[in-house]
């Protein structure tokens, strides 16, 4: 996974569309709960992109340079960039297709961790 992360960082300037999912700090919720309100919509965007044949992923790689990004785009101080979604058609030869997941019975536990 590190190789893919590094590749994304090295090629981010080539991505045709970058969506920044932002959330305003209203002073009412703490940092832990703040993101809970935006990530369901981020997931919906990822699912919609996939349904349209577009590639995307949720990344927080921007965090290292968030202040510079906010200044460049005029994002107010009280607005946080929760995630970044690079969006585009998969490159020729890229692995893209149906996903494979472990059966829910292997990762669903009852009453105690590990009890399937």
pLDDT in tens, 66-78: 999 999 999 999 9
pLDDT digits (tens, 9 = 90+) for 24-57: 887 776 666 667 778 999 999 999 999 998 989 8
What pLDDT does residue 62 have? 85
pTM: 0.74
Question: Among the listed ranges 17-26, 28-37, 86-95, which one has the minimum average pLDDT value?
Answer: 28-37
H/E stretch holding 72 reads helix 66-73
Give backbone dihedrals phi and psi of 88, rounded to 5 degrees, phi first.
180, 175
Strands (E), 51-95: 55-56, 79-88
Model confidence band, residue 64 (pLDDT cutoffs 50, 70, 90): confident
What pLDDT does residue 2 have? 67
Set out the domains of the chain in order of their start, with CATH numbers: 7-92 (3.40.109.10)
């Amino acid at each position: 996974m590190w190789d893919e992360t590094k590749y994304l960082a090295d090629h981010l300037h080539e991505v045709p569309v970058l969506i920044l999912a932002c959330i305003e700090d209203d002073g009412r919720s703490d940092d832990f709960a703040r993101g809970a309100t935006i990530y369901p919509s981020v997931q919906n965007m990822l699912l919609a992109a996939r349904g349209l044949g577009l590639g995307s992923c949720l990344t927080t790689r921007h965090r290292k340079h968030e202040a510079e990004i906010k200044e460049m785009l005029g994002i107010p101080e009280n607005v946080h960039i929760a995630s970044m979604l690079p969006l585009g058609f998969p490159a020729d030869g890229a692995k893209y297709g149906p996903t494979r997941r472990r059966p829910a019975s292997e990762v669903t536990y009852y009453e105690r961790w590990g009890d399937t």
